[in-house]
Amino acid sequence: MLTPEQIENKLERLLPTVEKPGRYTGGELNSIVKDWGDPQIKTRVCVAFPDIYDLGMSNLGVGILYDILNQRPDTLAERAYCPWSDMEAVMRREGIPLYSLETKHPLSAFDVIGISLPYEQLYSNLLNFLDLAGLPLLTVDRGPDHPLIVAGGHATYNPEPVADFVDAFVIGEGEDVIVEIVTTYQKRKAEGSGDKLTLLKQLAKIWGVYVPALYEVIYNEDGTIAATTPTVPEAPAKVIKRIVPVMPPPLTKMIVPYIDTVHNRFPIEIMRGCTRGCRFCQAGMITRPVRERSVDQILQAIEDGLASTGFEEIALLSLSSSDYDDILELVRRVGEKYAGKHLSISVPSLRIETASVELMELLKDTKRGGFTFAPEAATEKMREIINKAVPTQQVLDTAREVYSRGWPTIKLYFMIGHPSETLEDVQAIVDLCKAVLAEGRKVLGNKANVTAGVSTFVPKPHTPFQWVSCDTIEQIIAKQSLLKRTLRGPGLKLNWNNPQETQLEAWFSRGDRRLGRVLLEAWKRGAKFDAWQEHFKYDAWQEAFAVCGLDPQFYTHRPRLIDETFPWDHIDIALKKQFLTEDYLWSLRGQTRVDCRERCFACGILPRFTKMREQTPVEAWECPEVKPKHLRGKQTVSLELPVQSA
């Protein structure tokens, strides 16, 4: 194994030969370098994002975990990202293993490697990452002396496609559980029980941790799942997602990169979860309950964050910022405080309503961003099916308001491939964009323009649309060519996704454990950086499916029966499957649900987390208050505790 000094020396010579060498140096402001010789430090963790630095540094989750771990005197945390292909070639040629940015230790020298997997296009990179680190790819091939590979992030709510490669998954929010994983690891190390299985069993007992090696998957003859069952008593039959009862203090001491990155700014999460219940939206289902930070806490975090970073841009992040209880007060106070300070403020995810325009007007003395709205579908009927009911007139009224206040550009996000969608529904996207542009023309003339981003819908696990079949590639191409043909002309711009890349996302979103072999075969055939068009190798994936004797269409276009057992059914996101089933059936009838701040639909969060809700301040959650049992009248909700039973 190369020493950090040897790696440093090689880098000194080689970095000038690669593109953007600033990706590979570390040493940035606010990065934390601890001494590996410090006897106090018991556990060394590397947090990682399996794509290049430019993207990885923009991932808030990795930054949060890095900060939490480094606050512990007994733990050090460093970072690693994938090298871009030019650097990868250099590293493989020179025998340089993947190393941490802080101290240039090879990744194999760490105790735990925590990898963020927010989306499926990173799976081939995960394999490449492990390979560059010199680690066996399969969890069965890694022993107690190899680093423990932990993964988390939204994609891992269906962990099965990458179950062969990851030792333990964090299902849910990482802030508390990462610490429990580290302390469990430390205890095992201190006890000196050098057996990996023992460690895995101990990890499986932690709420929110899924250890796939401790489960057996039984398939039906048709390839669907009969059952996924634990093989040891320590592993729970259902892995309940982890949540933090109250949003923890926000990260303020962010690392400031030396080079430009995708989101080179100070982000602050103002709210977690969403009460809207859009049926296609996985984030809206898996991040319940809705928890908010207070206006004062957010303002203080911005102040501290700007003082420690000097960033000239901030972003107020959430799934639906308009729904944040005190959004008006928050935006007004931020706008007043930073007026004339040359600070850019972005408030993404605003509702399509004129109030959003008034909200942005509160920021008129700062550098505010433009308007992006997401109607997702272009007809009222289709918006009812997806439960994002906005009257078309409201879209046009909002657009008129935006243009008349001087913004020349409106970005509109749509999806094609919604359930029951026809070419007429796709044509309606074109018509709506043109109608919006016409509103702009009335007030701004030819200055007005519309950018339409039309992505392709991929049904996600744990959503009411998890039963829906995807459009075939031919259907997608037909819909896209209609858009390309008709959504054109002065003032109109269209962006769309490569349909082949959408297929990849769709296979893995609802994939099962058998896809691990496909992934391995595709990686052997050169698949990596699937999220990058210039790298994406559709043929490698097709071949991999053929070699494994699996039909990709099984995962995408097969209609699923309402009572089918899914590969992710043992992952419990605290929504009752019955709630999702009912919501799916409602969608078929075009029946909508209102925002659950108005009315609780008993999705399952409260019965699952009753105890936690009781002990949490009323204002911290948007879910109704739950009184302790002795203060309640007759109650019908069960009092199941959020702990995993053995």
Partner 1 sequence: MQRLRITFSKTAAMKFSGHLDLHKTWERTLRRARLPLAYSEGFNPHPKIQLAAALPLGFTSDCEIVDIWLETSQPLANARAALERAVPPGITLIEVAEAIEGGPALQTQVVAAEYRVLVSTDLNPEAMDERIAALLAAPEIKRVRRNKEYDLRPLIESLARTESDALGHTLLMRLTAREGATGRPEEVVEALGAEAAKAAFHRQKLFLAETVAR
Residue numbers at the binding site for partner 1 (CB under 8 A): 13, 15-17, 20-22, 25-29, 256, 258-260, 264, 306-312, 342
Q: What is the DSSP string of 540-557?
A: HHHHHHHHHT--HHHHHT
Cis peptide before 289 (omega within 30 of 0): yes
Rounded-to-integer distance, Cα 266 and Cα 52, Å: 19
Cβ atoms 556, 457 nearer than 8 A = no
Identify the CA nearest to 24 among candidates 61, 46, 52, 51.
Answer: 52
Cβ atoms 137, 545 nearer than 8 A = no
**Could you tell me the CA-to-CA distances from 365 to 16, 326, 361, 572 in Å, in that order?**
43, 20, 9, 46
Rounded-to-integer distance, Cα 406 and Cα 448, Å: 9
455 bridge partner residues = 415
Select 16 or 489, whichever has its Cβ closest to partner 1: 16
Select 258 or 601, whichever has its Cβ closest to partner 1: 258
> In terms of DSSP bridges, do strands 225-230 and 215-219 run parallel, antiparallel, or are they unpaired?
antiparallel
Q: What is the DSSP string of 211-226?
A: -GGGEEEEE-TTSSEE
Rounded-to-integer distance, Cα 254 and Cα 306, Å: 9
412 bridge partner residues = 373, 452
**Three-state secondary-structure class, residue 209:** strand
Cis peptide before 267 (omega within 30 of 0): no
Rounded-to-integer distance, Cα 476 and Cα 499, Å: 7
Contacts of 151 (CB under 8 A, 6+ apart): 114, 115, 116, 117, 126, 159, 162, 166, 168, 169, 170
Please report where in the chains the tokens 């850019």 appear, as a residue.
Answer: 344
Rounded-to-integer distance, Cα 101 and Cα 104, Å: 6
130-144 CB burial, b ≥16 within 10 A, e <16: bbbbebebebeebee
In which region does residue 387 sit, left (phi positive, over 0), alpha (psi from -120 to 50) or beta (all else)?
A: left
Cβ atoms 276, 350 nearer than 8 A = no
Find the largest Cα–Cα distance for the chain.
75
